[in-house]
Amino acid sequence: MDRAIAIDVNRLCKTYDGHKAVDDLSFRIYAGEIFGLLGPNGAGKSTTLRTLITLLHPTSGTATVMGYDTVREADQVRTVIGYVPQERAIDRFLTGREHLQLLGALYHLTKDEAAKRIGELLKLVELEAHADRPAKTYSGGMKRKLDIACGLLPDPKILFLDEPTLGLDVQSRLRIWEYVRMLKARGMTVVMTTNYLDEADQLCDRLAIIDGGKIKTLGAPAELKIALGGDIVSLTLKETSRIQSLASDLTGRPAIKTVRATTKGLDIRVESPEKALPTILESANRLGCDIEFIQYNRPRLDDVFIAHTGRAITESPPEVESA
């Protein structure tokens, strides 16, 4: 693929007090895509993000953003990125407009440029009516919108979002997703961390699953699901004594990839359910197995996560890490 590279991470390591927060990461992010860093808390995704936005220096390895090195050319990197930190990175006493004016000065905009852009952004995130109230009167969703407006103020090439919908209600969440899709449509590259599987699945063009400071797998959500090896048909049998005979009968049949016995029945990975289901039913009939329940699942991102990390995202990591 010869798509333009927005971010190039090469053998990145970051160690804190002997603990490897990020361990030999290498990946590329292409211009114009929404890229997700997915992982549980403490997986290293925030550390990776904060290295890319120049706030952390890597222990070893390099990262470039739009061709600029994040350490040696940090200032150039800072001019092409926008950053939306986790919630509450807001000064309660300043109004929404004052937040944007402050950032306007920090990005060295003239008063007129800033005023014009601030007007546009307030409109975009629907905060015009509240722009001159102190931020302490804002709801969680409004604060998040202001956060995003702040991130967009420099008109960045790449926008970094750290857990953009953490702790938000469903409506605000969907609204934030809308913004992100719209930014992509305008040609912006978006890099986000999340520990919500549905968010990664719905929003990201490609994602990296990170756990224990390492990339476990990387690709488009659909690719990752396909790579698991097809859809799953789960059978629950009335008589568990018949599970073994049905399993051995089905093994090796066309359209059926693997058969695994469970406590109540079978989990069968199939190439296509259209071809496999008749085979399964015919076999069960012939052997006289009464089927109590039949369920058919496309693999979800949860399955991808479990397959690559050995646990669900909500389970705590095996080693307890210090915060």
CB half-sphere exposure, 182, CA atoms < 13 A: 10
Asked if 312 touches another protein (CB under 8 A), the answer is no
Residue (of 99, 98, 78) closest to 160 by Cα position: 78
Question: Residues 81, 146, 180, 289: which binds another protein (CB under 8 A)?
Answer: 81
Question: Residues 150, 209, 210, 268: which binds another protein (CB under 8 A)?
Answer: 150
Q: Could you tell me which stretch among 75-83, 118-126, 233-241, 303-311 binds another protein (CB under 8 A)?
A: 75-83
Residue (of 32, 51, 3, 308) closest to 188 by Cα position: 32
Contact (Cβ atoms closer than 8 angstroms) between residue 161 and residue 151: yes
Q: Could you tell me which stretch among 19-27, 88-96, 165-173, 205-213 binds another protein (CB under 8 A)?
A: 88-96
Tally of CB atoms within 10 A around 16: 13
Question: Residues 45, 78, 130, 225: which binds another protein (CB under 8 A)?
Answer: 78
Question: Residues 5, 102, 227, 255: which binds another protein (CB under 8 A)?
Answer: 102
Q: Could you tell me which stretch among 49-57, 175-183, 233-241, 247-255 binds another protein (CB under 8 A)?
A: 49-57
Sheet strand arrangement including 19-30: 19-30, 5-16, 60-65, 68-69
Residue (of 319, 255, 320, 309) closest to 281 by Cα position: 255
Contact (Cβ atoms closer than 8 angstroms) between residue 282 and residue 276: no
Question: Residues 134, 140, 141, 229: which binds another protein (CB under 8 A)?
Answer: 134
Binding site for another protein (CB under 8 A): 50, 53-57, 75, 78-79, 81, 83, 85-86, 88-91, 93-94, 98, 101-103, 105-108, 134, 150, 154
